[in-house]
Structures are given as C-alpha cells and as structure tokens.
Copies of this chain bind each other. A is one copy, B any other.
Amino acid sequence: MAEVVTTLAGAIASARSARREDGPVPRGMPEDVLAAAAESLGPPDVPADGIGADAALRRLATMLAEYGLDLAHPRAAAHLQPPPLTVAVAADTLASAGNASLDTYDSGPSAIAVERWVVRSLTRLAGLGERADGVLTPGGSMSNLLGLLLARDTAGLARGIDVRRSGVGALRRPVVFCSELAHFSVHRACAALGLGEQAVQPVAVDEHHRMRPEALAAALRGLGDDRTPVAIIATAGSTDFGSVDPLPELAEIAAEHAVWLHVDAAYGFGALFSERLSERLAGLELADSVTVDLHKLGWQPAATSALLVADANAFSALERTVSYLNPADDSEAGYDGLLGRSLQTTRRPDAIKVAASLLAHGRAGLGRMVDVCHELAVHAQRRIAAEPELELISPAELTTVVFRYGGGAHADPDHLDRINSDLRRRLLESGVALIGRTTVRGTRPDDAERVCVKFTLLNQTATAGDIDELIDRVLLAGRACARRTEEGAA
C-alpha cells in the first residue's frame, strides 16, 4: 500500500507537466485523441513483456492529462460530472487497495459494515422510516433498473405471479408511468427487464417541466383490465432542467391505486444537503424506492449510486442462497453479506468514499457546495436573461441553466438550431470550454423541438467571474457561427 503512494507520486508528476492550461478538453478532433492513445499504448494487443509499473503508469497519466477532460477547470460545464472531493478519491484508493467485496461476510467484513452505515445514513436523510434499506449500485441507470425490477416482481406477486420464476410473459401487458422528461434509462430498463419499451406510458408535464398529477390520475383511471400497472416513476431533478415532479401529489395517486412509486432523484437528492434547497424534495419520504447518485450533487468519483427502498422486504425478489457463498447456517449465525440486495456478486465497496466524505465535510459542508453551485447557476441565469443575444429557456432550479443563442423573434428557428449546435461544437473543438446541449420543446402543443445549450455547474471552486467568462466565450462562438451560417445561406 505504501508502494502505491510512491508509484502514484511519480505518475502525478508526469501528469502535472502534461496538463493543459487553456481549457477543459483537448483541442482538436476525436481522431487526434485516438492517435495519441495509440502512440502511448502501442498496438492494441496485450504486450508480450512488461515495461514495469512506474513506466506504464507515467505513460497513462501523461496521456490522460494531455488528452482527457479536466473537470476542475472552471469552464467545464457540460454534464452532471463533478470534480471529485480529495477525501473521496483518497478513500476510493483504500477501497481499491483492500479489494473487499460486499457479497459475503468473509469477502469484506468491515466494508459491509461501512455500506450498512452509509445506507442507513442516506435513508434517514431521505426521511424514509426504520424499515428502510438500500444498496449501492454502479450508477443511476442501474439503480433505476433495480428499482423497476423490485416494482415489477412486487406487482407480479400482488397478482399471484412469481415473475422471477415464470418470467414477465405471465404478466398481463405491463405499464410504467413516467413524465415525458424522465431519464432515458427508464426506457432502457423496461427493455432490459423484458417489459418492453412499449410499457412506458409518458405523462405530460406542466410549463415548469413537472409531471401533471391530474394527467397521471386520468391515465391510471383509464387503464384497461388487460394492463398491469408496474410503477410510477417520478423525477426529482430532471437532467436538463433540475425540475422536481410534485412528489406528494404523485405519492397520493400511487397509494390510491396501490402502485409502486419510484423516485429518480439521481440528480436532485444532493439538494437534501442544503438547508435552502432541501424543501424541493418534500414528499421523497413517501416513495417506495429512490435512486441517489452521489457522483452528481455529492462530489464523489463515479460510480456512487444507491437504490433506497422504504421496506427492506422489497429485496426478497433478489434473495438467493448459494452453497459456496452464503450457506443457510452461516446466515443464521449472523455471517451475512449483501448478496441479496444486488444483481452483482463481487461488488466494490463504493461506500467507503461516501463514508469518508460524509464524515469529513458533514451535511453543512456538502450543503455549502450545493448552495455555491446553485448560486453560480442563478448568476448564469441572470446574465443570460440580461444578454440580448441570448434567450433564457429554463431558469436555475438546481445547478443547470438552459438557454439559446440568438433567440430573437425575427430569426429563422432552423438557422438558430444550427448555430446553437455549431457553437457548442466550436467551443469543444477549440478546447476552451465545454458546455452541454439538448433539445427543448416549446410549451404549445405544436411547438417543435429546438436545439438549446446548457450549463451544468458542479464545480464549487468556480466563481461568478468564471461564469461571466464562460458566457463571453459562448457569445463569441455564437457570433462566429451565426456569421458562418449567414454566409452559407447567402
């Protein structure tokens, strides 16, 4: 373990000398990065002989620093991908070095204790009751999949069908409700779980990008007898807008129809650290299951996701006794692992970095980081609203702002689509700034989807001045792209 530190220190020195100063992403095109990687790593074959740990690590560290993404750069503002906390990175090294696994007691006794502590701390923060439980997963998409799996099997059991044994073919046509803006991982999970994507029934949102409860209630009432409602998926922090579905109203409808309520709080959960923003998650405590991504508003290295459940019995769909892992007499004697909470067997103890971060910074420290990023987003929103060349599309609910270059009423909307996608690409290719891009449909029924750009602000060391400079770069790039588009049209 001490060797690790020596080896690392050498690699870090190489990485530092290779680090770019000019922006968060490498200048140039993807093929340039692939060429650099090919030069650094050699032909794509396991080499016959090794070059030793120090040389190998220096080579990788240099290449990663020179051609990688620098999330600590103040102009990295594209995705829900934070610069991670120092304490979390160091604790993650303890996890790698120890190589404990969480499936059985004897594959990681203390790591299991740490995960239990982290899960319990998170269920309490969520306001779930004493029967709550949870498990860490390799990402928000997997947490959503796992939540939907538990919902699916619970819905089957309620109808006398053991879906785990018999398969979903035995279920009447399954239906999963979610808002039009729900994360695409819901659709993917339905496909993976054998429900089919056609099971997804999208529910309309209001002008604040929140699911309309009355539309959900109507959809449930109108469901034919040949359909099995599997789950309602609420979103607490949509990826683009940070909008939170009206959880108390949705929970009431779910309870009335006895349908599982899963809340995808992958992005929004971190708001609970902030005294100022936690109110936005009111109603989360009414969920049957919750997705939490602490590698978003929690500053952990990926992946640090969790699925929390209101009732530990929900995991019974995953229970399994395996003679070489968890024989019954071991479980009876208290030698329990966490195999029965996960689709994974070997499982990395991602909880170690979470425990270290919660202890190191506390709720107050993490709350301050959330507030700082929210304030950066509010600052960006004000500046965008004040800029005549920019159109604010969606205000800062959490830490994102969606906007559009050149949104004047006179401009051709297709031209503007082109300009907005070009300006983001121009910033990316020049390497000076990394911003997000998405499409947004207007509020009228016939409105088309329009290309917009987006800031996702998760760097708590960035300043209002950095945001201003970022917006200045967007304006410059926008003007250049507008000129080019006009020349092309002329």
A459, chain B: closest CB distance, angstroms = 12
Interface of A is mostly: helix
By beta carbon, the residue of chain B nearest A2 is B12
> Residues 78-113 of chain A: 1 if any B CB is under 8 Å from the residue's CB, otherwise 0?
111111111111111111111111001111111111
Once bound together, how far apart are the Cα atoms of A82 and B60, in whole Å?
Answer: 23
Once bound together, how far apart are the Cα atoms of A53 and B365, in whole Å?
Answer: 12
From A61-69, A207-215, A389-397, the one touching the partner chain is: A61-69
B171 touches A169 (CB 8 A): yes
CB neighbours of A409 from chain B (8 A): none
A235, chain B: closest CB distance, angstroms = 14
CB neighbours of A303 from chain B (8 A): 138, 344, 346-348
CB neighbours of A239 from chain B (8 A): 324
Contact of A174 among B167, B240, B421 (CB under 8 A): B167
B125 touches A46 (CB 8 A): yes
A8 an interface residue at 8 Å Cβ cutoff?
Answer: yes
A429, chain B: closest CB distance, angstroms = 9
The oligomer's copy count stands at 2
29 example contacts (A-B, Cβ-Cβ < 8 A) are as follows A4-B86, A8-B94, A33-B113, A44-B121, A45-B125, A46-B362, A50-B359, A50-B364, A51-B359, A56-B91, A60-B359, A63-B114, A64-B94, A67-B113, A69-B98, A69-B108, A78-B106, A79-B104, A79-B106, A99-B301, A141-B346, A165-B198, A167-B194, A170-B196, A184-B320, A303-B347, A324-B437, A327-B437, A330-B425
A113, chain B: closest CB distance, angstroms = 3
Chain A: interface residue total (CB-CB under 8 A): 172
B198 touches A166 (CB 8 A): yes
By beta carbon, the residue of chain B nearest A170 is B196
CB neighbours of A49 from chain B (8 A): 362-365
CB neighbours of A282 from chain B (8 A): none
A86, chain B: closest CB distance, angstroms = 5
Contact of A109 among B11, B30, B329 (CB under 8 A): B30
CB neighbours of A438 from chain B (8 A): 323-324
By beta carbon, the residue of chain B nearest A7 is B90
A338 an interface residue at 8 Å Cβ cutoff?
Answer: no
Within 8 A of B (CB), among A279-323: 293, 295, 301-303, 318, 320, 322-323
Contact of A34 among B79, B113, B125, B330 (CB under 8 A): B113
A105, chain B: closest CB distance, angstroms = 6
A263 an interface residue at 8 Å Cβ cutoff?
Answer: no
A473 an interface residue at 8 Å Cβ cutoff?
Answer: no
Once bound together, how far apart are the Cα atoms of A25 and B33, in whole Å?
Answer: 45
A435, chain B: closest CB distance, angstroms = 9
Q: Which of A50, A303, A353 has the most CB of B within 10 A?
A: A50
A139 touches B344 (CB 8 A): yes
A56 touches B87 (CB 8 A): yes
CB neighbours of A363 from chain B (8 A): 46-49
Within 8 A of B (CB), among A251-283: 273
From A185-193, A216-224, A481-489, the one touching the partner chain is: A185-193
B437 touches A51 (CB 8 A): no
A140 an interface residue at 8 Å Cβ cutoff?
Answer: yes
B31 touches A114 (CB 8 A): no
A244 an interface residue at 8 Å Cβ cutoff?
Answer: no
Known contacts A5-B8, A348-B302, A437-B324, A196 near B356 by CB under 8 Å: no
CB neighbours of A358 from chain B (8 A): 46-47, 50
